[in-house]
Chain A
Amino acid sequence: MLKYIIKRILLGLLILFGTSVIIYFLVRNMPADYIDRNTAARVSQGLITQEQVEQMKHLYGIGDNSFWGILSNYFTWLGNLLKGDLGISFVYGKPVAEVIGRYMWISFGISFTALIFEIIISIPLGIYAATNQYGVADYTVTVLAMMGISLPSFFLGALLIRVFSLELGWFPMTGLRDATKILTGFPAFLDLLHHLVLPMVTLVVLSIGSLMRYTRTNMLEVLNSDYIRTARAKGLSEKTVIYKHAFRNTLIPLVTMLGGIIPSLFGGAMITESVFALEGIGYTAYNAVLQADVPFVMGYNMFLAVLTVLGILISDLLYAVVDPRVKVGG
């Protein structure tokens, strides 16, 4: 087991190395980087010379844009990374890790709450649909769930804002807090919740479908298995059969699915956060890409890649934990 985990982690590091090379070359090829943009005015006024700008870029480790230049810069970046230093964000003027840490928790709070709602709603719906296979209820639930998957987040966000914010005035349009009032303590928290209702609804509606369909498929598979027939033959009530015998076994694939959720849990929802102007990590990263904040974009993408690798590893391990038939190794 330990040997397997170590092997997988080493493999993960290899994958991350490849991923980081690709991301680094892409990021370095982004147009008009932050330094160019912010020094252009002063250069044209003659306050600083182009040489000084180049020197500044060199100091930040993004001076040379030739292939070999980027490659050597990459290894400098990698060396710093191994020392635990992700560099300093151009826009925020703080270490990248600190900026990610600061905005990550807002996104995490939103995604985590949305995930809880998602689980509460979609699993019972999936079971309900499976037990009424090909019935009216099954079709209704399936169609609604599929519509959720098919909705683009920006369109759903715009619809919700139009109806519940502009038309009915129930919820604020964008942002995280009411700028017209100074609130502290519990009222501030309530205000925050009030602002988060629409983004939360967006996230839940978009993600409910996949989990619901997943539950439905697994439930159908389990309901066709022999031990369910045995349970029924013993004369157990339908309720016991479904909730005690079948439901527990549908949890196995669900647990492994949780591993795949990890990146989106910590990495934020870029588009939804942008539509609602929430200062989460996704929105911050989106702006960082537009402003070519090289260290931050690099750090954020690597953060996501690490989460993805971890997510796959965790779901593989969880699979062995919850299902004793699965043997990890080899």
Chain B
Amino acid sequence: MDNINNTNNNLPDQFDDEQSLYDSVKIVSPGRLVLRRFFRSRLSIVGLAMLIFLFLFSFIGPLFSPYGEIELCPVAREVRMITQGQFTGADGKIYKYYDVSTSIVHDKAPPSSEHPLGTDVDKMDVLTRLMYGGRISLRISFTVIFLETLIGVLLGGIAGFFGKWVDTLIMRIVDVFYCLPGMPILLISSQIIKSISFIAAEDRIYWLMGILTLFGWAGTARLVRGQILSLREQEFMTAAEATGIKSSAKIFKHLLPNVMPQLIVSMTLGLGSIILYESTLSYLGLGVQYPLAAWGTMISSADPAKGTEVLNYYPNLWVAPGILIVAAVLGFNFVGDGLRDAFDPKMKR
């Protein structure tokens, strides 16, 4: 696309007398146009700000935190235990009694200046664990999306470019993966990963990333193939054909750059959904393993099935990770939507 502007710059000499008019027109490259449209939308700026905050929080934040991810910080606090009982006295009446005892516990400290969000069930600092949880979530989502795109572009590109039986074969494989039910398959896969003895508990999440990739590339492949099929029929591709360039040049110089806009949008939106998948798996205890921190695991302490103590009395343990998940997914969605509008030449705003 940049070539168009370069040719415009080198105007033939006979246009010299119109140079003054030409100078007054500012030439904007398509990339800059997209950026300008992107920043004109308020939602994309909000989304971008949220993502920048999350990145700083997760990757720079731990440097300023006095505690480690799995460092125990016992904070003593008094807990009053009221026990109730009854006995039958010597006179035959039933007596009830209450006994208030004070005991000292060291976990689930309330928010204080040392621990802004308190400490959790295992005496670890909640704020610090939030930061490390963000690291894991962001790292996983970017890795998975990168791998998914790599496989998707490769297979979708081959299918769309070569057509015929190659296309049929690849698209049937895509269909098969597309019909696999996502969540149940992830559950089963993580059970299998859990049972394989040579995978250490802290490495399981990397295997899970592989599984997420394996079951997620089909969508990207479909998108790329569809785009390439429609691009192949356009005039500029006929022109490229006429110049007699190699297939690889046609793919990498002419087709892929035109698929990029859609690809970038779907990648950005995909980042959010991977974070949701990862946190759901962690919530179910199948993702990131204890003692490593993950947002989903932190919320799972409030699971109603595990009793209502944390859910009811310690919102500082599970509300913040939930808000951060929403912020991350929302941020990626806002940016993705903003990019979609910015790339769309029909949008005149």
Using a CB–CB cutoff of 8 Å, the interface residues on chain A facing chain B are 14-16, 18-19, 22-23, 26-27, 29-32, 134, 139, 142-143, 146-147, 149-155, 157-159, 161-162, 166, 173-174, 263, 267, 270-271, 274-277, 285-286, 289-290, 292, 297, 300-301, 304-305, 308-309
Contacts and interface: CB of A to CB of B under 8 A. Distances in A.
Contacts of A143: 43
B180 A305 contact: yes
A30 B322 contact: no
B33 to A, nearest CB: 19
Contacts, number: 136
B280 A22 contact: no
A162 B312 contact: yes
B329 A149 contact: yes
Contacts of B302: 158, 162
A208 B178 CA distance: 23
B161 interface: no
A163 B328 CA distance: 24
B187 A289 contact: yes
A161 B179 contact: no
Interface stretch (B11-19, B81-89, B114-122, B191-199): B191-199
Given A23-B185, A150-B326, A154-B299, 7 more contacts: A146-B333, A158-B304, A166-B311, A173-B304, A297-B188, A301-B185, A304-B184
B181 A32 contact: no
A174 B305 CA distance: 9
B176 A152 contact: no
B306 to A, nearest CB: 11
B203 interface: no
Contacts of B187: 270, 286, 289
Contact of A150 (B42, B280, B283, B329): B329
Contacts of A149: 329, 333
17 contacts: A15-B172, A16-B179, A23-B180, A26-B189, A30-B195, A150-B326, A152-B279, A155-B325, A155-B326, A159-B322, A161-B304, A162-B311, A270-B184, A270-B187, A271-B284, A274-B305, A289-B191
Interface string B301-339: 011110010011001001100100110011001100100
B175 interface: yes
Contact of A152 (B179, B303, B311, B322): B322
A66 to B, nearest CB: 16
* Most chain A beta-carbon contacts within 10 A, residue among B191, B272, B329, B334: B191
Interface residues of B, number: 48
Contacts of A23: 180, 185
A266 B325 CA distance: 28
B192 A162 contact: no
Given A150-B329, A155-B325, A300 B304 contact: no
B179 A301 contact: no
Given A152-B299, A155-B299, A161-B304, A15 B330 contact: no
A277 B181 contact: no
A152 B296 contact: yes
Main secondary structure of the interface of A (DSSP, over half): helix
A300 B172 CA distance: 22
Interface in B137-193: 172-173, 175-176, 178-181, 183-185, 187-189, 191-192
Given A16-B179, A19-B180, A31-B194, A150 B333 contact: yes
A154 B176 contact: no
A31 B195 contact: yes
A19 B311 CA distance: 40
B184 A289 contact: yes
A92 B303 CA distance: 26
A63 B188 CA distance: 19
Nearest to B276: A152
A26 B276 contact: no
A286 B311 CA distance: 22
Contacts of A31: 191-192, 194-195
B179 A305 contact: yes
A277 B306 CA distance: 12
The 9 A-B residue pairs whose C-beta atoms are closest, nearest first, are A31-B195, A18-B176, A150-B329, A155-B322, A304-B181, A150-B330, A15-B175, A308-B179, A158-B302
* Most chain A beta-carbon contacts within 10 A, residue among B184, B189, B333, B334: B184
B311 A15 contact: no
Given A29-B192, A275-B304, A15 B184 contact: no
Contacts of A300: 184
Contacts of B329: 149-150
A27 B181 CA distance: 13
A173 B304 CA distance: 8
Given A139-B42, A162-B312, A152 B184 contact: no
Nearest to A300: B184
B330 A146 contact: yes
